[in-house]
Amino acid sequence: MSQTQKEIQKLFRDHKIIESESKSWYVGKPGTTKNSFSITWSPGSIVLYGEQGNVTLIAAEFSSYANAKNWLGSCSLDDFSATIAHETPENLTYFFEACQLWGKEPHYT
């Protein structure tokens, strides 16, 4: 076993799988997958993934589903960008608009 494997095993030695609330949706135009994406919320994070790429958002505002939805429905592009957990994607505006749509839709409860 390599040193890296030993370090990883040590890092995760005390980890347990803990049940957590989450919600996930597929958003797209019926009959096509073009410009479709999936959104998954869990406390503290939102993940968007689809043909346009993937982005993970991390923020204290995402601690509850209602807070995440309200925040995304009204945030600015700069605030949205500040929650991205990795390199900012080239198509940032696409992900921002997708989240704004999801955040404003009343039937996602």
Distance CA 100, CA 51 (A): 18
Containing structural domain, residue 46: 17-104
Instruction: Give whole-number Cα distances, 36 to 17, 45, 49, in Å.
Output: 30, 20, 9
More confident residue, 13 or 108: 13
Task: Assess if residue 49 is contained within a domain.
Answer: yes
- pLDDT for 10-47, tens place per residue? 999 999 988 889 998 888 888 888 888 888 999 999 99
Helix (H) or strand (E) holding 49: strand 45-50
Task: Assess if residue 95 is contained within a domain.
Answer: yes
Task: Assess if residue 34 is contained within a domain.
Answer: yes
At residue 74's C-alpha, the angle toward residues 43 and 93, to 5°, is 90
Check pLDDT > 50 for residue 84.
yes
More confident residue, 12 or 89: 12
Count of domains for the chain: 1
pLDDT number for residue 107? 54
Indicate the pLDDT class of residue 56, thresholds 50, 70 and 90. Answer: very high
